[in-house]
Structures are given as C-alpha cells and as structure tokens.
C-alpha cells in the first residue's frame, strides 16, 4: 500500500489539475470561436466527441468495475507472493521444496493473467470504439461531409470550412485526455480507498489529562490479551515488579513471554485487567513520560541506518562520546566497534553489518545509556554467545540501585541472578518465587534448570558454547 497505492494516487493529485486545465481551455476557446463562424457546422464537428462520451459509461458497468477490482487484487497477490518467495529462498535452498515454493507464485501469476484477459476482453471493444470516434481521420471525415453539404447547399462560404478543419481536430483532445485521466482516476480512487482503510485503524488513545506515576513499581493485574478474537495468549497474569529487583520470566517457546513484556512499553493494551506503572494505568500516562521511564531490548533487534554512536545515543541524542563509549564498554561491544573502519562514526547497513549478537549488544548499550528506571530485556536465544551473555549480566547488574528490571531469560546464568522467577506456561503463571525456592519445589522451574544443565554439558562436550537452548515442556 505504501509503495503502489501511494504512487497510484500521486499523478492524480500532482499532475491532473494542470493537465486538465490545459486540456479544456484551448478547446473551449476554439469552440466559442467556431460558433461565431457557423453554428451548424460546429454542432456537426462535435458529433465524434458526443459519440465517444456516450460510450464511456459502458466502461463503468458493475461487471467492468468488478473485473478491475479483481485485476488489482491479482496484482497485489503477485507482489506478496514475490516477497514471500524471496524471503524464503534460503530455507528453500537448504530444505528443498523449491517446486512447492514456486507454486504459490505461479498460481498468483496464472490468476493475474486470467484476470487481465477478462478485464481487457471486456474493455477492448469499447476502448477501440472510443479511440476510433476520436481519431483525426474520422473527425476530418465528419467535418468534410458536413461542410460539403452546407457549402453545396449555399449556406456557407467555402473559406469558412478552413477553421473547422484546423481547430476541429483539437476538440477531441480533451476527451482523449479524459479517457486516460478516467483510468487514472479509477485506479487512484481504489488506491485511496485502501490507504484510507489503513489510516482508519485507530491509534492507541492518549489520555486527555495524563497522570504522573509515583515511583516505578510495575504491576500487572489480571492481565488478559489475545492478538486475535477468541484466542487468548495471556490468560490472567498477576505479577508485581518491585523497584531494585530483577524478575526473570521463563517458559516454553510460545508461552507468551514476549507478548507479556511488550505490554510494558504499551505496544498493545490488555483486553482485560491493567498494567500499572507507579500506581498509574499505562493508559493514563503520557506517551513521552512512559518512554522516558521504560527502555527496551527486543528479541529481534532493529538497528537504524545511522552511525554506531547515533544508534547507541538514540534515546539521549545530546549524549557525549564519553557516555556512548562507557555504555558500549558495559555492553561488551566497544572493542568490536573500534575494529570497524570508522569506529563510532561507521554507518550501519552502509559501511558495516553487525551479527545478531552484536546488534543485540548495541541495543543493550542503547538501553544502558538511556538509563531509565525500568528496563525490559527480551534475551534472544539465537544470539546467546558468551559476550552477549556478559553484556546482559552487565545490563542487569550495573546500577541495580532501585531500577525495576524484567528479563525474559533463556540462559541459566541470567535466571540464577534474578531475585524472582516467574514461570509462564500457556499464557498463565504456573510458578513464582526465588530461584532457590523454585529449585527446591522440584516443579517446572527445576525441569527448566535441568534442561539448561544438560544443554550446557552437551555444549561443553562438543565444544559448542552456542548451542541453542531448547526449553521443553
């Protein structure tokens, strides 16, 4: 929509007013003049235009419009199947199944071809008729025949035929321009409809009178949430994060850990219950206040196409280089940055590309520099290399002070340092307590712990310290 639909609307807004003005002024002036020469021949000269205009509504019947909508939809399906196919190339290459991956694309192309044929078949006869009526030979023919009749009947001087032959041709131009403009208009209208649909999705409402939080204790009270109607991902969560403590969330893949922590920066509002910061429901907080209080390290890190220093200083744009370097050191990424061709001025994505673990360390540095009282960290399984792990521990340990920390942990080391552990399963809290308490209880957490130990043993035995963790139910 951003690409195709916006460009479909563009010519109509940017060019149409000028083109239409030019297309109408010249013929209207000619027409007025021709009327003063001979009104009967002027009317005859307009016959081809009238014919063409009469045919235009045939292009707008419901059947024709439906064909055009199908054509647009088929074009959209090609675009998305291309994107899917390209994104999946690596997977297809490794695991085979090229045939099957191609099939979706081929089906989309086949659909497109047949809907294109349907549309063209419906339109081509009418379009040819319109073009014929407006073509110069036809217009000349009509003017000559009409003129000949008038001249021979003695109602008109032969010389008066000349302006009609010269200017008559120009009268058809605006109709032809309208025909093209009409296609554009239809396409633009359909595109504008789709853009409006997106624009109509309501933004999360900001409070009219924001309330200031008192302190930075975070409470989740009976929080329920689902991405889709009828499927709850979080089913009644009650958790309190005390300032000065680290709370670790563990649980099987898909249990709702990332969803849970994304409620804190208010990416979604819970469908039931509330998330409170310093006693205030997030829905009553000013957005800027919220982001000045909560910083985030995501599971899949996105870096900006900007210098390393700017990436780290995102939340604190006027931070000095000293501060940036200190944060980078704490996040264990400083040495790596110095290896880059232009150090902290290296532009990411242009001069250098970071690995997943390096990118996550940059985003940890970003959070450390932001130094907000609440820190949420979604530890990425895939990038759990020893250096990133050290960076995570730094982030959690550094200014423990009275910072409120929530971390989604996949690694034993991270969990062991936590004050409280919350075990999530199927969107509900099944165990909570200190790591020692939970180990003694010999339940879910103890099983998680055992599986981590086994994995680490295995990793040590094979010399692979990056073996990904499989949390089994």
Ligand X SMILES: Nc1ncnc2c1ncn2[C@@H]1O[C@H](COP(=O)(O)OP(=O)(O)OP(=O)(O)O)[C@@H](O)[C@H]1O
Out of 174, 256, 357, 435, the only residue in the binding site for ligand X (CB under 6 A) is 256
Between 258 and 289, name the residue whose CB sits nearer to ligand X: 258
d(CA 43, CA 23): 20
With contact defined as beta carbons under 8 Å apart, do 30 and 171 qualify? yes
3 state DSSP class of 33: helix
- Please give the Cα distance from 174 to 153 (Å, whole number): 32
Comparing CB distances to Mg ion, the nearer of 81 and 299 is 299
Cβ at position 414, least distance to Mg ion in Å: 14
**Interaction of residue 363 with ligand X, rule CB under 6 A:** no
Which DSSP state fits 1? -
Coil/strand/helix, residue 376: strand
Residues 266-305 that bind ligand X (CB under 6 A): 299
Segment interacting with ligand X (CB under 6 A) among 115-123, 247-255, 269-277, 388-396:
247-255
**Between residues 253 and 460, which has the closer beta carbon with respect to Mg ion?**
253
Contacts of 412 (CB under 8 A, 6+ apart): 449, 452, 453, 456
The rounded distance, in Å, linking the Cα atoms of 251 and 165 is 84
Q: Which residues are within 8 A (CB) of 473 and not within 5 positions of it... i.e. 6 or more apart?
A: 252, 425
Specify the residue, 258 or 274, whose C-beta has the smaller distance to Mg ion: 258
Q: According to CB under 6 A, which one of 42, 259, 360, 372 is a site residue for ligand X?
A: 259
> SS3 for 231?
strand
Check residue 3 for interaction with ligand X (CB under 6 A).
no
Residue ranges in 206-235 that form contacts with ligand X under rule CB under 6 A: 227, 233
Residue 422 contacts residue 393 (beta carbons within 8 Å): no
The three-state secondary structure class of 439 is: helix
Q: Residue 387, interface with ligand X (CB under 6 A)?
A: no
Task: Give the nearest distance from C-beta 462 to ligand X in angstroms.
Answer: 23
**Residue 256 interacts with which of ligand X, Mg ion, none, CB < 5 to 8 Å by class:** ligand X
Supply the minimum distance, in Å, between the C-beta of residue 385 and Mg ion. 18
> Using the rule CB under 6 A, which residue among 253, 271, 353, 355 binds ligand X?
253
Pick from 248, 261, 255: which is nearest to 471 by CA? 255
Q: Binding of ligand X at residue 257 (CB under 6 A)?
A: yes
Taking CB within 5 to 8 Å according to partner kind, which of Mg ion, ligand X, none is near residue 227?
ligand X
The answer to whether residue 258 forms part of the interface with ligand X (CB under 6 A) is yes
What residues contact residue 122 under an 8 Å CB cut-off, 6+ apart?
Answer: 63, 64, 67
Residue 51 binds which entry of ligand X, Mg ion, none, CB below 5-8 Å type-dependent: none
Interface with ligand X by CB under 6 A: which range of 107-115, 163-171, 180-188, 257-265?
257-265
By CB under 6 A, tell whether 81 contacts ligand X. no
Beta bridge partners, 294, equal 374
Least distance in Å: CB of 108 to ligand X?
Answer: 24
Task: Please report, as residue ranges, which positions from 98 to 127 form the binding site for ligand X (by CB under 6 A).
Answer: none
State which residue has the least CB distance to Mg ion. 258
Does position 255 interact with ligand X (CB under 6 A)? The reply is yes
d(CA 45, CA 424): 81
Interface with Mg ion by CB under 5 A: which residues?
Answer: 258, 299
Report the C-alpha gap between 163 and 169 in whole angstroms.
10
Query: In this complex, which beta carbon is closest to ligand X, that of residue 237 or of residue 282?
Result: 237
CB atoms near residue 293 (< 10 Å): 19
Per CB under 6 A, does 140 bind ligand X? no
Q: Which does 255 bind (CB under 5 to 8 A by kind): ligand X, Mg ion, none?
A: ligand X
203 CA to centre of own chain: 15
- Using DSSP's 3-state secondary structure scheme, residue 247 falls into strand
- Smallest gap from residue 396 Cβ to ligand X (A): 19
Residues 6+ apart with CB under 8 A from 94: none
CA distance 414 to 297: 15
Identify which of residues 68 and 259 has a Cβ nearer to Mg ion in the complex.
259
**Choices 65-73, 253-261, 318-326, 391-399; region in contact with ligand X by CB under 6 A:** 253-261
Both tokens assigned to 127: 């379009």
Q: Name the residues that contact ligand X, by CB under 6 A.
A: 227, 233, 251, 253-259, 299
């Amino acid at each position: 929509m951003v690409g195709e639909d916006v460009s479909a609307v563009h010519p109509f807004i940017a060019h149409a007013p000028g083109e239409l003005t030019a297309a109408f002024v010249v013929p209207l002036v000619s027409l007025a003049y021709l009327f003063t020469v001979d009104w009967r021949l002027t009317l005859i000269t307009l016959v081809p235009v009238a014919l063409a205009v009469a045919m235009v509504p045939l292009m707008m019947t419901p059947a024709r419009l439906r064909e055009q909508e199908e054509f647009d939809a088929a074009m959209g399906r090609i675009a998305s199947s291309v994107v899917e196919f390209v994104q999946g190339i690596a997977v297809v290459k490794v695991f085979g199944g090229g045939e099957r991956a191609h099939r979706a694309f081929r089906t989309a192309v086949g659909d497109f071809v047949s809907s294109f044929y349907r549309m063209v078949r419906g339109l081509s006869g009418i379009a040819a008729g319109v073009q014929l009526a407006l073509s110069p030979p036809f217009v000349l023919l009509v003017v000559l025949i009409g003129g000949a009749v008038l001249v021979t009947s003695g109602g008109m001087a032969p010389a008066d035929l000349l302006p009609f032959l010269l200017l008559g041709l120009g009268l058809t131009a605006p109709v032809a321009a309208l025909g093209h403009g009409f296609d554009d208009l239809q396409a633009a209208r359909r595109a504008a409809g789709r853009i409006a649909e997106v624009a109509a999705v309501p933004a999360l409402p900001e409070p009219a009178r924001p309330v200031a939080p008192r302190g930075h204790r975070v409470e989740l009270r009976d929080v329920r949430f689902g991405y889709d109607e009828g499927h709850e991902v979080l089913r009644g969560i009650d958790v309190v994060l005390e300032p000065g403590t680290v709370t670790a969330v563990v649980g099987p893949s898909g249990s709702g850990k990332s969803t849970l922590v994304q409620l804190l920066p208010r990416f979604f509002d819970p469908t039931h219950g509330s998330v409170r910061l310093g006693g205030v429901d997030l829905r009553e907080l000013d957005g800027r206040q919220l982001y000045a209080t909560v910083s985030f390290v995501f599971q899949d890190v996105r870096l900006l196409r900007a210098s390393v220093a700017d990436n780290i200083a995102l939340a604190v744009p006027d931070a000095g280089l000293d501060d940036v370097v200190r944060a980078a050191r704490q996040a264990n990424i400083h040495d790596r940055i110095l290896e880059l061709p232009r150090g902290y001025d290296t532009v990411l994505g242009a001069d250098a590309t970071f690995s997943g673990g390096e990118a996550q360390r940059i985003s940890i540095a970003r959070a450390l520099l932001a130094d907000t009282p609440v820190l949420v960290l979604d530890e990425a399984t895939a990038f759990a290399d020893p250096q990133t792990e050290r960076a995570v521990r730094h982030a959690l340990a550094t200014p423990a002070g009275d910072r409120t920390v929530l971390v989604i942990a996949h690694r034993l080391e991270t969990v062991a340092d936590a004050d409280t552990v919350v075990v999530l399963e199927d969107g509900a809290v099944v165990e909570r307590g200190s790591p020692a308490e939970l180990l003694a209880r010999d339940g879910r957490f103890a099983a998680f712990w055992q599986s981590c130990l086994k994995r680490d043993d295995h990793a040590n035995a094979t010399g692979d310290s990056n073996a990904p963790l499989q949390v089994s139910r």
